[in-house]
Amino acid sequence: MAQGKVGFIGVGLMGHGMAKNIVEKGFELVVLRHRKAEAVEDLKTRGATEATSLRDMAEQCDRIVLCVTGTPQVEALVLGADGLASAGRPLLLIDCSTSEPESTRQLAARLAPQNIRIVDAPLSRSPKEAWEGTLDVMAGGAPADLAEALPLLNCFARRVVETGEVGTGHTLKLLNNSVSLGYAAIYAEALMLGAKSGITPEIIHKVLAGGRMDCPFFQTFFDYVVGGNPEAHRFTMRNALKDMTYMSNVAGALSAANPVGSAVRNSLALAVGRGDGERYLPHLAASIAEANGVSLPGT
């Protein structure tokens, strides 16, 4: 049995599988109640225990993994009344959320006098890989902190890329997502223009599949568009818009022009504004098509 209790906050689509792998690898896991109560109950059957509050978790655990939506949620969990920092204990926080890099750096500086350290370790891939323990992780932080976090990260990752100082993991995650979400926006626009030209999604799929533009992201996106699988790519457009907004903030702080990223963000903002924010990302194709007066069969 691995030494020292480990806390886990955020046992949702990604976090449930991650936490499952941590407890099954021999760590003494403490979880916090989640809106998906069945995930907490499942983890308890595997050996996890449940904290009564954030402060209770921080009083029990030396390392705590956070897997929540983004910056506001992380800051509330750590700095809020009776939050993790209120316990007054040394902690290593491993933030697997997709958060704003500047906020992460500011939070690390603010918590350092309390001997609370942060490793930002956002994720790549999907809930399927989270369950299988084969995620990709980008990890930023001080070398000693990264070394302490690594045994936990290896529980649910096939690959951990150390990115540099704290905040660089979240920066790289945003860069990664800007590329993948750019694909989504391009696919959606091409499918819309195809529909307006009388070209079906199936024909577009036949042309691209197996060619140089084929990739796992293409396959899950089109598994929804032409395969009709609503669970193919479980990442909401509201979260995608949040990530591209964070990327825009990074570009603004660097006084850098990012016209392509801005266009991708606007495509997502259009879909969210149409009421599709809780739909999964491949539905962007249907949303963009409908905004242009056409529909895509099967979506």
Q: Which amino acid is at 143?
A: P
pLDDT in tens, 193-203: 999 999 999 99
Q: Which amino acid is at 51?
A: A
Give the separation between CA 3 and CA 62, rounded to whole angstroms.
Answer: 10
pLDDT greater than 80 at residue 298? no
pLDDT in tens, 55-95: 999 999 999 999 999 999 999 999 998 999 999 999 999 99
End-to-end Cα separation, the chain, in angstroms: 48
Q: Which domains does the chain have, with CATH numbers?
A: 5-166 (3.40.50.720), 171-291 (1.10.1040.10)
Tell me, rounded to whole angstroms, the distance of Cα 238 from its chain centroid: 12
Structure tokens, 86: 């209120």
Structure tokens, 17: 């599988």
* Cβ atoms 136, 157 nearer than 8 A: yes
Top-confidence residue, 298 or 11: 11
Q: Using alpha carbons, select from 176, 105, 98, 114 the residue that is nearest to residue 141.
A: 105
Q: For residue 45, name the pLDDT band (cuts at 50, 70, 90).
A: very high
Q: What percent of the chain has pLDDT over 90?
A: 91
Whole-number pLDDT of residue 3: 64
Q: Which amino acid is at 250?
A: V
* Cβ atoms 86, 113 nearer than 8 A: no
Whole-number pLDDT of residue 143: 97
Active site residues: 173
pLDDT in tens, 129-163: 999 999 999 999 999 999 999 999 999 999 999 99
pLDDT in tens, 222-265: 999 999 999 888 899 999 999 999 999 999 999 999 999 999 99
Top-confidence residue, 67 or 3: 67
